[in-house]
Structure 1
Amino acid sequence: MKKTIIAFVTLTLMASCNKNESKTNLHITGNIKGLKKGTLYIQRVVDTTLVALDTIQMDGSSTFESDIDLKSPEMLYLFLDRGVTNSLDNNLLFFAEPGKINIETSLEGYLSEAKITGSKNHDLYEEYRKINTRFKDESLTLIEQKFNAMKANNTAKVDSVSAKQESNIKRKYLFATNFAINNHEHEIAPYIALSEIYDINIKYLDTIQKSMSPTVAKSLYGKKLIAYIQEIKKQQ
């Protein structure tokens, strides 16, 4: 009888522990070299506003950890409050997904030195961003060239640069579309459609939506993309 009671209590405790553990499905660990004091906020976007999911006080140690309940893979923000400025350089984006994610960076190179592991969606995001940066750099170069041509009243040069700008935009949008379609089994696909090419021709958004896997279609960004496309079609 005594053994039965012990066994029952043990099972009850185990069930209770499993129930508590099920409340969170994302474990975040990290290290910000050089940081001794400050506050970290793990945030998500809710109706265009950043809302804190967790607040971590840093006092004497550069390491941190957090447990979060993530309903669906989502772009989150690790905001560092240095107590000095609210610069955008203090907000680190990472594409979170259930599991374990590690964030390694430094106080001096908070964004530039960040290494995030444990998320396939984030790996894909970094791959996309690396190539997309080329289009952004070219855009800046062309803006400068156009400005100089306008100052010099060189109409032919202005027209030439304008044509290059249009071509650069088309290539950027085509790359984003193909990237989303090629990675249709990951939530990065609808995220790119919504954040990077939301104003592209509806047929391309439609193609991305139809290429999404059933799981991605039911995700946070998958549902948002479907709703967004439906809204556009209503207005046409």
Structure 2
Amino acid sequence: MKKSIVLFFTLLLLVACSKEVSKTNLHLTGNIKGLKKGTLYIQRIANSRLVALDTIKIDGNSSFETDIDLKSPEMLYLFLDRGVTNSMDNNILFFAEPGTMNIDTNLDSYISSAKITGSKNQEKYEEYLKINTRFRDENLDMIQQKFLALKSSNTKAVDSLSARQDNNTKRRYLFATNFAINNKEYEVAPYIALSDIYDINIKYLDTIQKSMSPKVAQSLYGKKLTEYIAKIKKQQ
């Protein structure tokens, strides 16, 4: 009888463990070349702050792996704490989605060297960033030119640069809108709308929201975009 009870509870424990394992749908692996000791934190934004989903200790082996439960594709952060006072703690932004993903980078250029694979949303986001970065670089260049023009009291140049900045912003917003609409099958579309062009004319956000596929509309960012648009309309 005693053996039967032990066996019964053992089976219950195994079932409970198997259910717990089945909750994880993202297997994340990676390597940080040159890292001998430190701590990795996988984080998400919750209530306007970063919250740790998992903590991984690195001690001698620079490779890592973990399993995460994702309710929906989501932008996560791989935060590195090197454990020394003069270090630069960094965050790698990556668009996580169910499946198997890998992040390879090195200690010296933690963010810029990061190679992220296994996520279609990540691929789309990187494609978006390549063009979007050009707009941002152009704007920074114009800011510098404008500063010099103001310093020399060149009013004509200041006015010209201000007009060019406005045009650059319009082009950037239009690009982001078109990119989101053209990639309506991916969760990156509502994410871009919420993170980069949240202050654009409501009609453009409306167009993005209405173009989303049913699957994306029910995702984390799809629902947030719908809620955000409803909130803006209510305030108008």
How far does residue 12 in structure 1 lie from its aligned partner after superposition? Answer: 9.0
How far does residue 22 in structure 1 lie from its aligned partner after superposition? Answer: 1.4
Bigger Cα displacement from structure 2, 89-98 vs 11-20: 11-20
In the alignment, the residues of structure 1 paired with residue 90 and residue 226 of structure 2 have an alpha-carbon distance, to the nearest angstrom, of: 32
Corresponding position of 2:212: 212
Corresponding position of 1:53: 53
Bigger Cα displacement from structure 2, 18-27 vs 80-89: 80-89
Residue identity in the other structure for 1:121: N
How far does residue 136 in structure 1 lie from its aligned partner after superposition? Answer: 0.7
Residue identity in the other structure for 2:151: K
For 1:90-169, list aligned pairs within 5 A.
Answer: 90-169=90-169
Corresponding position of 2:5: none
Corresponding position of 1:79: 79
Q: Which runs of 5+ in 1 are unaligned?
A: 1-10
Residue identity in the other structure for 1:200: I
Corresponding position of 2:40: 40
Query: Percent identity among equivalent residues?
Result: 74
How far does residue 23 in structure 1 lie from its aligned partner after superposition? Answer: 1.2
In the alignment, the residues of structure 1 paired with residue 85 and residue 140 of structure 2 have an alpha-carbon distance, to the nearest angstrom, of: 27
Corresponding position of 2:6: none
In the alignment, the residues of structure 1 paired with residue 235 and residue 35 of structure 2 have an alpha-carbon distance, to the nearest angstrom, of: 50
Residue identity in the other structure for 1:52: A
Q: Which runs of 5+ in 2 are unaligned?
A: 1-10
8 A Cα contact 2:103 2:115, kept in partner = yes
Q: Secondary structure of 2:84's match?
A: coil
Instruction: Write out per-residue CA displacement over residues 31-58 of structure 1, whole angstroms, 9 at most, x where no aligned residue.
Output: 0000010000000000110000000000
Q: How much is the aligned-residue C-alpha RMSD, in angstroms?
A: 1.8
8 A Cα contact 2:30 2:103, kept in partner = yes
8 A Cα contact 1:89 1:110, kept in partner = no
How far does residue 21 in structure 1 lie from its aligned partner after superposition? Answer: 2.9
Segments ≥4 residues shifted beyond 3 Å = 11-18, 84-89
8 A Cα contact 1:102 1:117, kept in partner = yes
How far does residue 20 in structure 1 lie from its aligned partner after superposition? Answer: 3.4
In the alignment, the residues of structure 2 paired with residue 170 and residue 111 of structure 1 have an alpha-carbon distance, to the nearest angstrom, of: 29
Instruction: Write out per-residue CA displacement over residues 197-234 of structure 1, whole angstroms, 9 at most, x where no aligned residue.
Output: 00000000000000000000000000000000000000
Q: Secondary structure of 1:41's match?
A: strand
How far does residue 97 in structure 1 lie from its aligned partner after superposition? Answer: 0.3
How far does residue 84 in structure 1 lie from its aligned partner after superposition? Answer: 3.2
Q: How many residues get paired?
A: 226
How far does residue 17 in structure 1 lie from its aligned partner after superposition? Answer: 6.5
Residue identity in the other structure for 1:23: K
In the alignment, the residues of structure 2 paired with residue 87 and residue 176 of structure 1 have an alpha-carbon distance, to the nearest angstrom, of: 35
Corresponding position of 1:28: 28
TM-score by length of 1: 0.91
In the alignment, the residues of structure 1 paired with residue 104 and residue 165 of structure 2 have an alpha-carbon distance, to the nearest angstrom, of: 37
Residue identity in the other structure for 1:172: R
How far does residue 15 in structure 1 lie from its aligned partner after superposition? Answer: 6.3
